[in-house]
Amino acid sequence: MTDAAIEIPRYQLTAADGTPLKLAMARATRRARLRAFALVLPLLVFVVVTFAVPIGQMLYRSVHNDQFSAHMPNLVAFFAADETKGVPGEEGFAALAKDLDLSREERSIGEVGTRINYEIAGTRSLFTSAGRKASKLEPPYKEAILALDKQWGDPELWNVMRRASSPHTLSFYLAALDLQYDKSGAIVSAPEDRRIYVPLFIRTLWLSGLIAGLCLLLGFPVAHLLATLPLRYSNLLMIFVLLPFWTSLLVRTTSWMVLLQSQGVVNDILVSLGIVGESGRIQMMYNEAGTIIAMTHILLPFMILPLYSVMKTIPPRYYRAALSLGATPWTAFWKVYFPQTVPGIGAGVLLVFILAIGYYITPALVGGASGQLISNLIAFHMQKSLNWSLAAALATLLLAGVILLYWLYDRLVGIDNMKLG
């Protein structure tokens, strides 16, 4: 009998129910993935609803505003058919007259005027006044409307209305960057006395970086002390670190107002000790100093905790081994101990910096005019001026700046080197 005639039987591995093992394993893997997805699904929905959707709406709001285009259909149609810039002829004024009367009937003339007022101050009253008289306008409309107010013959006003006739615009990003359109439609820098947003962005980044640096200087020795003390003492001190989390942020901020004001506790102590005179009380409220002091105190635990969690894992024998090999205490600390704390430093600095950029309550209460951050101006446009598109543009630029800094940190230091514990 030859080898070719010998038939070797094939055996197939099967599960207990007789299903091929490969197919059974594939089904089990698929069921495990579905179970894992089902467990994660509530969190995913929560993140999408509370994080992704609001950010998406903010991004869209920053480039979309239909306050003018939705209520001025005749003028929008005229601008779409006639691309001539500047003051139009009778046809353009006729479309304006119809829309003013329509907006008056719909009671939307205030929204229309508000949209143009974002770019030309004082024009809201121009629209509301003309809207009240729109029903009495008769041809020739150009002459009749110009008789109401000569500002209707301003080419810049018509150029702004032409840009506002599109619901999508980059005007709010230009305003957020202290830029504007001139009368010819070119993009130029805003007048020097109206450049407020870029300096405020710079101040926000500067103060946030300074506060993060101060928190690092104050928090590093505290975290080191907590990590090296015996457990019974470190637990007691940890209570004092965590105590601010159990106290209302508003209470802590108002407490600093009591301490730092001109007739407050700190100045009274300095006067009683003779360090300063009665007339030389230090101004620590409603300026940058108040913002820095209060925010450093409030954000300090967010620096201490990451540092402590990293320092606690560093074996003390490394430092002692360096000393036994002839290194000075400073050399042993700087060359052996400090490099191992860099992940905690990175985590603490990045956390404090990002929190400081978006802080609102503390600068609003203790900062005054010179201690305000960009978040306070965003809140102003959301709550007072109701210019939500500009607020969204400012928030988007702030978000882009944070992402850029995060990317730079990853490139220079490495996000993998950042640890929270």
Q: Which tens digits make up the pLDDT trace of 269-311?
A: 989 888 888 888 888 888 898 999 999 999 999 999 999 999 9
Query: Residue 97 and residue 295: Cα distance in Å, rounded?
Result: 54
- Give domain status of residue 61, yes or no: no
Residue 126 domain boundaries: 73-166
- Give domain status of residue 99, yes or no: yes
Q: Supply the CATH number for residue 404's domain.
A: 1.10.3720.10
pLDDT level of residue 249 (50, 70, 90 thresholds): confident
413 pLDDT exceeds 50? yes
Give whole-number Cα distances, 396 to 55, 64, 101, 158, 399, in Å.
9, 13, 37, 29, 5
Residue where one domain finishes, among candidates 117, 150, 166: 166
* CB contact at 8 A, 314 and 397: no
Q: Which two tokens stand for residue 164?
A: 């506002």
Sort 11 into a burial class: Cβ within 10 Å, 0-12 / 13-18 / 19+.
exposed
* CB contact at 8 A, 65 and 389: yes
Is residue 158 domain-shared with residue 78, that is, in the same domain?
yes
* CB contact at 8 A, 400 and 319: no
Cis upstream peptide for 140 (omega within 30°)? yes
Residue where one domain finishes, among candidates 120, 151, 166: 166
Is residue 114 domain-shared with residue 222, that is, in the same domain?
no
- Give domain status of residue 142, yes or no: yes
Pick from 53-57, 186-190, 213-217 the range whose average pLDDT is largest. Answer: 213-217
Query: Residue 142 and residue 200: Cα distance in Å, rounded?
Result: 43
% residues pLDDT > 90 (the chain) = 53
Q: Mean pLDDT across the stretch 18-27?
A: 81
- Give domain status of residue 303, yes or no: yes
Report pLDDT for 11: 58
- Give domain status of residue 251, yes or no: yes
Is residue 283 domain-shared with residue 413, that is, in the same domain?
yes
Is residue 245 domain-shared with residue 392, that is, in the same domain?
yes
Is residue 117 domain-shared with residue 236, that is, in the same domain?
no
Q: Mean pLDDT across the stretch 393-403?
A: 92
Query: Residue 327 and residue 335: Cα distance in Å, rounded?
Result: 9
Average pLDDT over the chain reads 89
Is residue 112 domain-shared with residue 203, that is, in the same domain?
no
- Give domain status of residue 4, yes or no: no
- Give domain status of residue 371, yes or no: yes
Report pLDDT for 108: 93
Is residue 137 domain-shared with residue 286, that is, in the same domain?
no
Give backbone dihedrals phi and psi of 189, rounded to 5 degrees, phi first. -70, 145
Q: Which tens digits make up the pLDDT trace of 312-362?
A: 988 888 888 988 888 898 999 899 999 999 888 988 998 999 999 988 888
Q: Mean pLDDT across the stretch 144-161?
A: 94
Is residue 153 domain-shared with residue 218, that is, in the same domain?
no
Is residue 201 domain-shared with residue 162, that is, in the same domain?
no
Q: Mean pLDDT across the stretch 233-244?
A: 88
Is residue 152 domain-shared with residue 209, that is, in the same domain?
no
Report pLDDT for 8: 45
% residues pLDDT > 70 (the chain) = 95
Report pLDDT for 105: 92
Give backbone dihedrals phi and psi of 20, rounded to 5 degrees, phi first. -55, 140
| Domain total of the chain | 2
- Give domain status of residue 31, yes or no: no
Q: pTM value?
A: 0.85
Q: For residue 189, what are the β-bridge partners? A: 179
